[in-house]
Structure 1
């Protein structure tokens, strides 16, 4: 239940009493957490809590019964920012990406601050915010195709005046689109067990982050 970058709406707080006060306050105000890329622990899902500033990030775990709903990045393409927020660069870039034909071949959506704001309606995007994207790539993407996709995405970002950071989600973990497009001999693969260098992410052994008893 829940994949990395999915947002979880919680029906109650999973935090222990010794968690930071700001984390308790954040969940009290907006009961949303993001699924972290980590191994499950005793049937609990790794989550991250975000506060009001970038330095406020707290790692925790949530159990299935504490989750009311799951919102994936793809679902957020149907959401729109409030009228007074649409002019921010990240949202302008996101709107422009909907017209990128090459991107339409994939399932994709916003993560990071843009995704969080679209899901929760809490203003988290600033004028200088990057746009973070997740592109699902269950099948191998050739470096040439990745380079063409990156160029199209960067063009949309340039028109909007926003930097766009893209992760390709493979069966074994995530890679940076820019790294794969560069056709380097090895690429950093982000897995539940941590990052590692691989020749080809699609040839790497898929990692199952499902519950591990005693973890």
Structure 2
């Protein structure tokens, strides 16, 4: 993702108190978390902004919360265009947020009738109905599937992955991770797509596949950047 080169603050102006209150997303406010979709009334313009951003915003005034530090009163967001290469990271002002849609808010959402036969939507419907292990968690679709369900703007294609965000505030044993991954892989293979599941833990975003592999350390995606952690549920106070 291309990132805005002129943030509306310097590193010295990041509000450490509000940043810590934001949890793993680290976006300057506890109201929003990574992968939330925000409906915006206005999108601030920055020098160097790609030409497609204004058209994309006019077509669908939504952005996704990304993991990055932001000053109080701002939230780090990512814009999505019509093509896969059109991704842009920038910042929105908090008072421009009209509505927030978390991935779990979309767990029972259905696509438009003429879109239901796309493999990613078929897989999501099957998970909603049949995934016993997944039902133990708070979860929801992210990525292109989540964006389309929230906005009704066609973004999913026949080859799209199904991205899932799974809330995991408490420790998940390896055996449970393996069972959950196997369940998701079974559905993915049946529909001929890839299901990419990310666990949201106190340390940040962890790939379910990495945790199930039993690695000594896994990569946690955090507002301060990716880092290796031995236990995503044991976070030092100064690391949060």
TM-score normalised per structure 2: 0.83
Measure the CA separation in 1 of the matches of 2:222 and 2:90.
Answer: 18
Is the aligned partner of 1:4 residue 2:48?
Answer: no
Query: Which position in structure 2 is the counterpart of 1:85?
Result: 115
Query: Which position in structure 1 is the counterpart of 2:44?
Result: 14
1:86-138 Cα offsets, whole Å, 9 max, x none, are 11111011011112111111000000000000001011010011100000000
TM superposition outliers: structure 1 runs of 4+ over 3 Å: 205-208
- Aligned 8 A contact 1:186 1:199 in 2: yes
Q: 1:53 to 1:205 in 2, by over 3 A?
A: farther
Query: Which position in structure 1 is the counterpart of 2:137?
Result: 106
Query: Which position in structure 2 is the counterpart of 1:136?
Result: 167
1:54-85 Cα offsets, whole Å, 9 max, x none, are 11111111111100000000011232111111
SS of the equivalent of 1:69 reads strand
Is the aligned partner of 1:46 residue 2:61?
Answer: no
Give the drift of 1:18. 4.6
Query: Which position in structure 2 is the counterpart of 1:166?
Result: 197
Measure the CA separation in 1 of the matches of 2:222 and 2:236.
Answer: 10
Give the drift of 1:39. 1.1
SS of the equivalent of 2:153 reads coil
Give the drift of 1:17. 5.9
**Please, which runs of 5 or more residues in structure 1 have no aligned partner?**
209-215
SS of the equivalent of 2:114 reads coil
Query: Which position in structure 2 is the counterpart of 1:213?
Result: none
SS of the equivalent of 2:226 reads strand
Give the drift of 1:14. 2.4
Where in structure 2 are the equivalents of 1:20-59 lying within 5 Å? Answer: 20-59=50-89
- Aligned 8 A contact 1:73 1:110 in 2: yes
Query: Which position in structure 2 is the counterpart of 1:76?
Result: 106
Query: Which position in structure 2 is the counterpart of 1:195?
Result: 226
Q: 1:134 to 1:174 in 2, by over 3 A?
A: same
The number of aligned residues is 208
TM-score normalised per structure 1: 0.93
Query: Which position in structure 2 is the counterpart of 1:95?
Result: 125
Is the aligned partner of 1:204 residue 2:235?
Answer: yes
Structural RMSD (CA): 1.3
Measure the CA separation in 1 of the matches of 2:218 and 2:42.
Answer: 39
Q: 1:198 to 1:17 in 2, by over 3 A?
A: closer
**Please, which runs of 5 or more residues in structure 2 have no aligned partner?**
1-30
